[in-house]
Structure 1
Amino acid sequence: MKKSTKLKMLSVSVGALSIGSVQAQSSVTLYGALDAGFTYTSNVKGSSLFALTSSNEAGSRWGLTGTEDLGGDLKAIFTMEGGFSTTTGAVGTNGTLFGRQAFVGLSSNQYGTATLGRQYGASYTAITQILALPAGGTWAAAGGGYGTHASDADNLNSANRINNAIKYRSPNWGGVTVVGLYSFGGKAGDFTQNSIYDVGVAYDNGTFRFGAGYFFAKNPNFSFWGDKANDSPSGNNMPNVIISGYASAGSEQIIAAGAGYTLGSAIFGVIYSNVRFNNLGSIAGVTTGSAAGYRGSATLNTGEVNVKYQLTPALLLGLAYSYTKDSGAGESGGATYQSVDAGALYSLSKTTSLYAMGVYQRASGTNSLGQKAVGAIFGSAGPSSNNHQLLLTTGLLHKF
């Protein structure tokens, strides 16, 4: 073999090794989940309903996530994640293609992670994602939101992601993680209009865990609840009757905290949240009836106790109780909502599970619309015609 031919072959081999080395420093991963099952609701506007439903235990989704090693403990990262209906194939998150997450950022083991785009809130990240404290945001039919607190007003199930957000998550400092987020309102001439800020902290030592968060949004009906593709730019974007009468609020404030303790195969949890819809009447035309005349503020205080038990390596059992007191607005005396979540999750493999969940809600008093309070499980097909509602769901979840 000629010397020049040998050199050419060596050059190609070295080039191939070089390309392989670059590719090894970068990665793109396709991932997702498909969830479908049967759901029974005892009363939807006066009639029982049995249906094939999607996203009961976990939201059906597909996504792409990637990293590029930039050297010196610095990586570029991105995530694009969209929800969809397993039963119809329709785009989820009210028509938003990548409505679950869409962000790009930089990450360092030493300094933490900064990301920009549509993202989960900081309080949710600390209390639910990192610590897995609320039942409704973890095991209790989290995909449908059925087991969450009244209307998920405290966003501990992340019914709402946040647009136009810059987010920072610290490294784990001896069990402590700090998360902060700011969302730009994007309104010319008013830097803070429609803006959101959110901070959270999580502590976990393996046996005891504690988390807390503070959230504040201006014009929440549009900046927070109405930030998806098919949401109304002028109407009411809070569909659940538990809070829809408070859509005229000038701001929404959420304070939440929770703790958990591991005892053998059981994990016990307790959650408290305080949600205030302030300056009611600031946004005209989004509510009707007595709610249109509301002024001042309305407050929802919620407490939850829960336990989950790993009966076998494959079988998880869970039970939770939550109580929400709505102070009401105007001359309304307010309402109370009591919910019980119970369920079982059986893992057939690392990626496939069977689930059976039940949620019961009972209401009393006067709801946000100035009407008699009715059962209104979040994520269900609609409110009950009486003061209670039962939802049962069972199905199959596969992750890839």
Structure 2
Amino acid sequence: MSVISEGNVRGGSVFKDISADDEDWQPSEIESLCMNCYENGMTRLLLTRIPFFKEVIVSSFSCEHCSWSNTEIQSAGRIQEQGVCYTLRVKTKQDLDREVVKADSATTRIPELDFEIPPFTQKGSLSTIEGLLDRAVAGLEQDQAVRRTTQPEVAEKIDEFIKKLMKLKDVENEFTLVIEDPSGNSFVENPRAPQRDEALIVTLFKRTVQQEMQLGIRADDDLEEEPAGNDLDTMRNEVLVFNTNCPECNAPASTNMKLVQIPHFKEVIIMATNCDSCSHRTNEVKSGGATEEQGTKITLHITDPSDMTRDLLKSETCYVLIPELEFELGMAALGGKFTTLEGLLKDIKDLIVSKNPFICGDSVASDRMHKLAEFGEKIEEVISGKMDVHLVLDDPAGNSYLQNVYAPDPDPEMTIEKYTRTFEQNEDLGLNGMKTEGYQKEK
């Protein structure tokens, strides 16, 4: 039996990337009870790391007495700050091949069939859309033999519903798949990356008290909402420090938080985490003020490598577009950031190319890998000033910013447009019913 040593736990992360070169890294084996025959079987645990899905525990149980076996995948990473909801419009059979990471805390819905799989009723899985449908059918068929004897009418209705689920795999009619995960650890593949996925909508949301209780991050008897802090003078004059865990290796780390005034803009909250164990560093930005009455669209014509040094604030609600590359980054990606233009472009390259979990392995299509590699090369050309492009920051909340290096004079290469939000944008921001002013444009 392999054992996780104390040195491994204290000296570094016990979660490693799967590699054929590391022959010493073997699954841990634990003798455990078989729930089928109640004899002792063997459970194998592999602690590894998958990009976007953080750390995972892959477990496999087998019993030599009755030959029963079972495999599961569990998230071992930290719970994200916000929940995430993926809404996919399945239009073709190719959409059924999209890979999906579904955490056990996720709710799966198909509105057209009024079908729902509640959270914590299935273990986490790495599958495809077709695999999710097959798993749902298998779950419904599990006790059908008994129902046909004891409850024939119920069994007949379930058989009819199973046929409807199987019919979805033919994609004769479009249907909607919704995966809502309060832990924020689920993921749906975008096969058109780095281009925008027109069929997929990703939204972030604040967890309810009940969802936090389900996730075990709030006590069952704590029904009160957390009070909002109001000591702004302390945040302006001091750096607040609180304990947290590193998002990469999960080791104890500290996060620094401070309220900062950005010249010619507004106050923002900057949070930075530094990990002494793995040297990972992150920074995240939250808007210090309320949502603006109008959305803001900032367009910069990148004409010189010196543009890469411009300070940039991308809020969580901001879309990033590069029209010449047919690229659009949704508001749910990368989170809020206060960085430079070069830093943002490098983060985009890492997200789309380096850290994309669905371009690894033997099953990846070579044309997709070539397409993403070519996109990474174009980003490098933009950074070095060899490609003439426009960068667009489209923020419906109006909380994003790009430095004007000519301030207080107008910037000849940058335009700022104020616009009235659509009903859908207000809905995404939770602002339906909010009055907005008319359209105005600034230069």
For normalisation by structure 2, the TM-score amounts to 0.25
Give the number of the structure whose residues are more often strand, by fraction: 1
Larger radius of gyration: 2
Larger RCO, structure (CA 8 Å, separation 6 or more): 1
